[in-house]
Amino acid sequence: MWSDAGERYKTPIADIFSAENKLQIQLRIEATLAKVQSKLGLVTEEEADRIANAVDRVSIERVKEIEAEIHHDLMAVVRALAEQAGAAGEKVHLGATSNDIQDTTLALQLSQVKTMLLDLLDNISQELFRLAKEFKDQPCIGRTHGQFAVPTTVGFKFANFLYELQLAKEKLEQAQVNISKFSGAIGNYASTHRLDIENELFDALGLEPTAISTQVVSRVVHANFMNAVALNASVLERISKEIRNLQRSEIKEWFEPFSSKQVGSSAMPHKRNPHKSERVSGLSRIIRNNVAVALENIALEHERDISHSSVERIIIPESTNLLYFISNQMLRILTGLEINIKGIEQNLKKAAGVSKSEQVLKRLVDKVGRQEGHELLRQHLHAEDYAKSVMNDPEITKYLSEEELKTLFSDIDTGLAIEKTDTILTQYQSDWANYRS
């Protein structure tokens, strides 16, 4: 906000929350309200037309000028519109309270933002689907706690990411942001004693009325949306961390795209830093932290206080803009991701011994039981060549022949990784046909 970050990470989402766009939405709502009230006989058709025609003559400069004098941003909009509406000016904002307009403005902004975010996340899902399918059969070593575990497949990794992103996207899709209220100062319709204005207004705007409200729509709605945004950011960070770790000099399995003229380090020309993935990780922290602030906004006093308002002007545009930014970054990363098969195979070879310990243990269970078998194999964990050390252990070779051990240590068993990947790919294709339709 007070640095170059605003421009550095700016996306089309920022335009939706710009002061100019917000003003246009507010004016549209006021004009639509007058049209609805004309239809219901509360203002004349001529008055509604005058208000609608005045919208284009309201300048943001005049609104700011009025706000500087009266210290109320929405009332500044109302007065600026009333000035341009002439004799119909007295009918502007009829029966409304500020948050009838403000929450409706936010609902329209968030509806547009949600669609944009989902469209971009859908593109990421398609890239994850492509990668899972392309590398479905490619064995690689799995890792837990940063250590060699057992073999899996590259496609299985991407299938996991695809599944998690689908779960997060579902939460974003389900987040109901297209709701607002036109129910007056404390939400009980005291100013109008009627529901038809709200119903007609939101029907015209493509929104839904909330079931009940105070002066504001419940901030549970917005906290739920912010949580869904953070869920998606967290999945993207999980993918970015895998890329960052597998790009390490001593691993060299995956590499994010790096252009021919790109610079990794000002001091070390050899560096190929995964800076885009690191950026995804870093910015996702801001998005997650904003969820806690959104939760604080729920507990407003009585029928409403204003403590949430200033906060939402920052955290909602910031989080949604940043999710769009890191989603776009992740799409670029995945589209150009380099999978180093040679590096993968070298690490599989390095792990050839220890990665088979589970398979050897399964054979020993039938001979000596699980606990004793586990202890026999654990004794070799510090060996430089785990497989050789195990095959030279007379306590183990009493139960398993050298030939049997050689077969176990040479086999690459990826379990049901390929079958499970196929399941996720099929599920994705099936769900995609009906997704968001």
End-to-end CA distance of the chain: 37
Q: What is the DSSP string of 391-407?
A: HT-HHHHTTS-HHHHHH
What is d(CA 21, CA 14) in angstroms, rounded to the nearest whole number? 10
At a CB cut-off of 8 Å and minimum separation 6, what does 260 contact?
none
- Give yes or no for a contact between 229 and 319, defined as CB atoms under 8 angstroms apart: yes
Residue 5 one-letter amino acid: A
170 class by beta-carbon count within 10 Å (0-12 exposed, 13-18 middle, 19+ buried): middle
- Give yes or no for a contact between 50 and 82, defined as CB atoms under 8 angstroms apart: no
Nearest to 125 by CA among 159, 157, 81: 159
What is d(CA 101, CA 65) in angstroms, rounded to the nearest whole number? 20
- Active-site hit among 265, 401, 410, 430: 265
Structure tokens at 108: 């329209």
**Residue 145 appears among annotated catalytic residues:** yes
Phi, psi of 427 (to 5 degrees): -60, -40
**Residue 180 appears among annotated catalytic residues:** no
In this structure, the dihedral spanned by the alpha carbons of residues 49, 52, 57 and 61, taken in order and rounded to 10 degrees, is 140
- Active-site hit among 145, 270, 302, 382: 145
Nearest to 216 by CA among 276, 114, 300: 300
Q: How far is CA 28 from CA 112, 396, 412, in A?
A: 15, 80, 64
- Ranges assigned E (strand) in 268-308: none
* φ/ψ bin of 208: left (φ > 0), alpha (ψ from -120 to 50), beta (otherwise): beta
The angle at the Cα of 276, spanning 275 to 278, to the nearest 5 degrees, equals 60
So which residues are the catalytic ones? 145, 265
